[in-house]
Structure 1
Amino acid sequence: MWKTAPLLIATLATAALLASCTAAGESSKPSGSPTEAVMTTPRDTLESLEPCRDLPELPTARCGSVTVPLDRHDPDSATTTVAFALVPRTDASTPGLGTIVPNPGGPGTSAIDATGALFAEALAPLMDRRDVLLVDPRGVGRSDALTCGAVEGAELVFGSVQDQRTAVGECGRQLGDRVDDYGTTAVADDIESVRLELGIDKLDLLGISYGTYLMPVYAERHPDHVRTITMAGAYSVNDDPTGAVGAAAFRRAVTLACASAGTCSGETVLADLATLAEQLRARPDAVQVTYDGTTHDVVVDEWQLASVAGRVFSNVPDPDGLTALAESAAAAKSGDLEPLRAFVAASLTATADIASAGPDVVSVAQSWATICHDYPRSFDYADSVEARKQAHAVAQAELDDNDFAPFSASAWTTRADYDNGGCLEWPNDPTAQAPFAKGAQLPDVPVLVLSGDLDANTPSASGREAAAQFPNATFVEIPGAGHTPAVTAEGGEKILTFIAEGES
């Protein structure tokens, strides 16, 4: 997903993805052989690693770590640990064909403890002659998990957009000198350090959501060590899918999902949502939500509506969520806001459950440290916070509300989890920039990009932008798929076949 803090759904999305991917692989194991044999970890290196005694679901996995500088540009930099778990191929009697390196997204999600067993299960049809290498990004899980008291736990889920911005800024200040050490280029170079440690020649890169941002960065920096790249739920390094393109994808998803279900009219749902959004702009409502013994007074305004509505198409398809959203908007026309209150409460409760997972699974601090370092902004960190807010307001005023229907531009672009002003109060970071410039030369390797037509998180338009970064990538839109499309049998089968054959 493009931004997960504070919405931390990557783990659950990947779980669904991998279950489907496994089923696809078992029903029809890909045939064919790769055009070029690639290395797996040499046997003596593998045996030098310790068994992963605390990963019972991966009984053959071997664990290790590398120590790397926090700042590779500073010879006096402090160091951090990057942990990995290697799941070896099952047939050691023949040469290995490759090493698959998956990243489940986030940023901030653990590849080892959160999704490692699921990845190994899903990729099992390929693992007779391929290893799976799980690397926790710096600041996540076993790799010196990063924490900030300001953003930990479920409290912020029930807050306002300003509450979240204030907390993110405080987290940046709590990080201090480490504020600029968690960009995607550093994470990509950490993967390279692990590759060198294990003596592997080339990697098969598999990126899910934010992983589709990370893997092109690795490829740009280390092009000679990439065999294939598979990306599901993709967006490009210099693309912002949270703006008008996301709103257009939301409208399309509502229309397609209603037509498929046969229980609603997309045109009617969108019109009802527009009416409700206008009503809440003029007269916000409220609901009390009790979570973990604490009762929160939640304002139900247009921003909250855009936030909970957007979540319906920011993960796997959610027919029940669409039904509840449609019924809430319809009931509001007659003055009944009770269905809306119940819908908001249920959405926030589910989000709070995931936000409480803890840094061993998802590091909210690392997520924001990456987002605020890498992602596009309408303001300059060198300016004061007040000047940043003014620049952001000017940029927001230039947006056309019609492009963001059924919501206003302000509500959609600042909604929870995807707030384009989320880093307004982040400390000054002179190094903050995209990992590479638009038009940068990426290697001419086999690339498969999958998008779902029901994904308003990383829409198909963003997937096409992601594919266009490469000389000869193949783009495929999967009908009926959300975020991400590998949850479908078709998507899972394409992933397995592509990695096996090395071509799409």
Structure 2
Amino acid sequence: MPSNPPRAPRARTRSRLAVGALATALFGQLLAGNAVAVPSPQAPTATTSPTGRIAWEPCASPSGQGTFECATLKVPVDWKRPRGATIDLALARHRATDPERRIGSLLINPGGPGGSGVDFAFSAPDSFSPDLLARFDIVGFDPRGVGRSNPVKCDTDRVNAQEALLYPDSASSFAALREANRALGASCRDLTGPLVDHMDTGSVVRDMEAIRAGLGERRISYYGVSYGTAIGQQYAERYPHRVRAMTLDSNMDHSLGPWGFQKTEAAAVEESYGQFADWCARTPSCALHGRDARALFDALYQRADAGELVLPGDPPETVTPQDLQSFALGNLYDPAGWFDFARTLAELDAVKPAAARSLRKFGEPTEFPFYSVMCQDYDFNVSSYGTLARFERELARRSPVTRLSPLGWTVMTGCQDWPAEVTNPQRRLDVDGTPKILMTNSRFDPATPHSWGSNAARQIGREAVFLTYDGVGHGDYWLSPCARDAIDTYLLTLKTPRDGTHCPAVWPADAPSAQRKSPAGGLVNPLPDLLGTGTYGRTG
């Protein structure tokens, strides 16, 4: 998953923490394949051949590295009406560098909902090990409604109107949020067409099976991270005998109701921030070393709640509690950015109160698939503001430093009265007949909690092998050399680690010069950029 719902339109005018000489993104576009402020590259033009196979044509990646081919594949808008209207899915593949030893195709998805699988494939030369690049064609696709695959578009004013109401504080503001959600959903339908009512993960699974058939592969291998694990889990349910190998990294749990979703998300952020605070306490080069980082965050939150945390600028910008929570969440995705995170918190603490708010400028349609997926995959209906307020009080009691997860909270509030049917509601997984599935989760993952992965593995049962990375972050392949080696070995040989294996935590080196180096053998974590969240320290 979750990357995090939208913020792009506002972020264009109010996205920088300019404290002293440091310019650090405050929230950016939160997780997740959310609103996109720049147009996607032009979709490839090749499509299926007369034989039904995908007709690939040479194409170049933005970086110019690697040998790529691109194509499109027609799929029905509504799989219940396979002869009805269609859309074109955009695909890209990085050809195996050792074709004589090629195993097959490895389909990949970076999460979101809303991350571009095409861009993920384009990043393959920097993001995956030489062994995987040698033995697999790395195939990425933009899921329906995303990027180059008929993107869902919504009215930017409606996006921002909803965003302003995602944290209701009264029955009247909760009612206003419901109305804003209905209006936003209606604008998405008006600007996009009937596709917005067919964005559920079940439809994406059917698309992925069409891609397998178009590739001419009897079975496929798959690597999915974050929301990409939901696609993989449900593909394994529906097409167990089409799976050669499947790695699910940073797992979602599609069995959770509103309260279960909230309490696990809030606990994950609280525990992850606690790991950051403990790291600062033992790391002399951390800007907060010698200070209580938990107490500092609480003090900053209190100042933000009182309207007294204002950034200098022209005009000055008032930091809200929600801004602060989102900023913290984003910086917990990858500890490589913790030196910057600590410095920014210290500089925020040094800012003197002022009294001004930034102006906001809104605009035209923006790509915005997040809620169209999540609100068809989860029934998050809350009966009243009283119930919502009880949730908020209990979450703050359980997680007294960070209070709640802005990701978990806004997914729930943003889906209230969303004007589309919940076509793929929560349920336990029912997987039977696949080969072993390797599932991994960080012990302290701020977006997809460890409990989600362990619970999903229990639901899958004997087909699942669960590995825990004992550190902090989201996307184990790039956080842990141990996890990466286990994933590579499994995908290449089908040999899994023992169920219940643990990989040791990797912490940022005690030297600022090392702060942004990937611990995973020099590989670059593509998730932040793929999900519209910048380079480091924001959600992805």
Q: Report the TM range for the smaller structure's normalisation.
A: 0.7 to 0.9
One-letter amino acid of the counterpart of residue 64, structure 2: E
Tell me which moved more, 301-310 or 262-271.
262-271
User: Which residue matches 2:292?
Assistant: 268
* CA distance in structure 2 between the partners assigned to 1:213 and 1:340 by the alignment: 45
User: Which residue matches 2:396?
Assistant: 401
Correspondence list, 1:127-142, <5 A: 127-142=133-148
* CA distance in structure 2 between the partners assigned to 1:415 and 1:47 by the alignment: 37
Correspondence list, 1:224-243, <5 A: 224-239=241-256, 243=262
What do residues 75-95 of structure 1 show as CA deviations (whole Å, max 9, x unaligned)?
Answer: 56321111222333234445x
* CA distance in structure 1 between the partners assigned to 2:353 and 2:484 by the alignment: 36
User: Which residue matches 1:28?
Assistant: none
One-letter amino acid of the counterpart of residue 403, structure 1: R
One-letter amino acid of the counterpart of residue 202, structure 1: R
1:88 aligns with 2:79: no
User: Which residue matches 1:223?
Assistant: 240
1:460 to 432, 450, 469: 450
State the structure with bigger RCO (CA 8 A, min sep 6), 1 or 2.
Answer: 1
2:263 to 244, 248, 261: 244
User: Which residue matches 2:166?
Assistant: 161
1:450 aligns with 2:440: yes
User: Which residue matches 2:527?
Assistant: none
CA distance change for structure 1 residues 415 and 100 in 2, over 3 Å: closer, same or farther?
A: closer
* CA distance in structure 2 between the partners assigned to 1:97 and 1:11 by the alignment: 30
Contact 1:158 1:298 in 2 (8 A): no
Partner-residue secondary structure (3-state), 1:115: helix
Contact 1:449 1:463 in 2 (8 A): yes
1:486 aligns with 2:498: no
CA distance change for structure 1 residues 136 and 174 in 2, over 3 Å: closer, same or farther?
A: same
CA drift at 1:167: 6.2
CA distance change for structure 1 residues 391 and 372 in 2, over 3 Å: closer, same or farther?
A: farther
Contact 2:300 2:309 in 1 (8 A): no
Contact 1:184 1:370 in 2 (8 A): yes
Contact 2:229 2:250 in 1 (8 A): yes
Query: What's the % identity of the aligned pairs?
Result: 23
1:150 aligns with 2:156: yes
Contact 1:306 1:415 in 2 (8 A): no
One-letter amino acid of the counterpart of residue 294, structure 2: L
* CA distance in structure 2 between the partners assigned to 1:414 and 1:127 by the alignment: 36
Partner-residue secondary structure (3-state), 2:330: helix
What do residues 265-286 of structure 1 show as CA deviations (whole Å, max 9, x unaligned)?
Answer: 79932234345445554x2335
One-letter amino acid of the counterpart of residue 134, structure 2: D
Contact 1:45 1:198 in 2 (8 A): no
Correspondence list, 1:39-438, <5 A: 48-52=55-59, 57=64, 60-74=67-81, 77-93=84-100, 96-112=102-118, 114-121=119-126, 122-150=128-156, 159=164, 161=166, 169-176=182-189, 177-239=194-256, 243-261=262-280, 262-263=282-283, 268-278=292-302, 280-281=304-305, 283-285=306-308, 287=310, 299-324=318-343, 327=346, 331=349, 337-338=351-352, 364-379=367-382, 389-390=384-385, 393=388, 396=391, 399=394, 401-408=396-403, 412-413=404-405, 418-427=410-419, 429-434=420-425, 437-438=427-428
One-letter amino acid of the counterpart of residue 85, structure 1: A
CA distance change for structure 1 residues 204 and 392 in 2, over 3 Å: closer, same or farther?
A: farther
* CA distance in structure 1 between the partners assigned to 2:477 and 2:354 by the alignment: 31
* CA distance in structure 2 between the partners assigned to 1:426 and 1:289 by the alignment: 37
What do residues 115-144 of structure 1 show as CA deviations (whole Å, max 9, x unaligned)?
Answer: 222224414312433222211111122212
* CA distance in structure 2 between the partners assigned to 1:288 and 1:160 by the alignment: 23
Partner-residue secondary structure (3-state), 1:256: helix
CA drift at 1:175: 3.0
CA distance change for structure 1 residues 420 and 193 in 2, over 3 Å: closer, same or farther?
A: same
Contact 2:233 2:429 in 1 (8 A): no
* CA distance in structure 2 between the partners assigned to 1:47 and 1:194 by the alignment: 8
In the alignment, structure 1 segments of 5+ residues that lack a partner are 13-41, 380-387
TM-score w.r.t. length of structure 2:
0.69
One-letter amino acid of the counterpart of residue 146, structure 2: V
CA RMSD, 1 decimal = 4.1
CA distance change for structure 1 residues 265 and 419 in 2, over 3 Å: closer, same or farther?
A: farther
What do residues 471-498 of structure 1 show as CA deviations (whole Å, max 9, x unaligned)?
Answer: 2322222233411222132232222112
One-letter amino acid of the counterpart of residue 202, structure 2: T
Partner-residue secondary structure (3-state), 2:277: helix
* CA distance in structure 2 between the partners assigned to 1:416 and 1:152 by the alignment: 21
In the alignment, structure 2 segments of 5+ residues that lack a partner are 7-28, 35-48, 168-175, 497-540
CA drift at 1:182: 0.7
Contact 1:11 1:115 in 2 (8 A): no
User: Which residue matches 2:430?
Assistant: 440
One-letter amino acid of the counterpart of residue 73, structure 1: K
CA distance change for structure 1 residues 102 and 252 in 2, over 3 Å: closer, same or farther?
A: same
One-letter amino acid of the counterpart of residue 326, structure 2: S
What do residues 422-480 of structure 1 show as CA deviations (whole Å, max 9, x unaligned)?
Answer: 122421x234332x621423444222222223421112222212322322322222233
CA drift at 1:108: 0.8
Partner-residue secondary structure (3-state), 1:81: strand
CA drift at 1:220: 0.9
Contact 2:162 2:181 in 1 (8 A): no
Q: How many equivalent residue pairs? A: 437
* CA distance in structure 1 between the partners assigned to 2:66 and 2:300 by the alignment: 53
CA drift at 1:103: 0.3
CA drift at 1:225: 0.4
* CA distance in structure 2 between the partners assigned to 1:297 and 1:218 by the alignment: 49
What do residues 273-328 of structure 1 show as CA deviations (whole Å, max 9, x unaligned)?
Answer: 345445554x23353687xxxx7775534333323222221445431354246536
CA distance change for structure 1 residues 166 and 453 in 2, over 3 Å: closer, same or farther?
A: farther
Partner-residue secondary structure (3-state), 1:469: helix
TM-score w.r.t. length of structure 1:
0.73
Contact 1:304 1:415 in 2 (8 A): no
CA distance change for structure 1 residues 123 and 314 in 2, over 3 Å: closer, same or farther?
A: closer
CA distance change for structure 1 residues 47 and 81 in 2, over 3 Å: closer, same or farther?
A: closer
Partner-residue secondary structure (3-state), 1:234: coil
* CA distance in structure 2 between the partners assigned to 1:477 and 1:320 by the alignment: 25
CA distance change for structure 1 residues 324 and 182 in 2, over 3 Å: closer, same or farther?
A: same
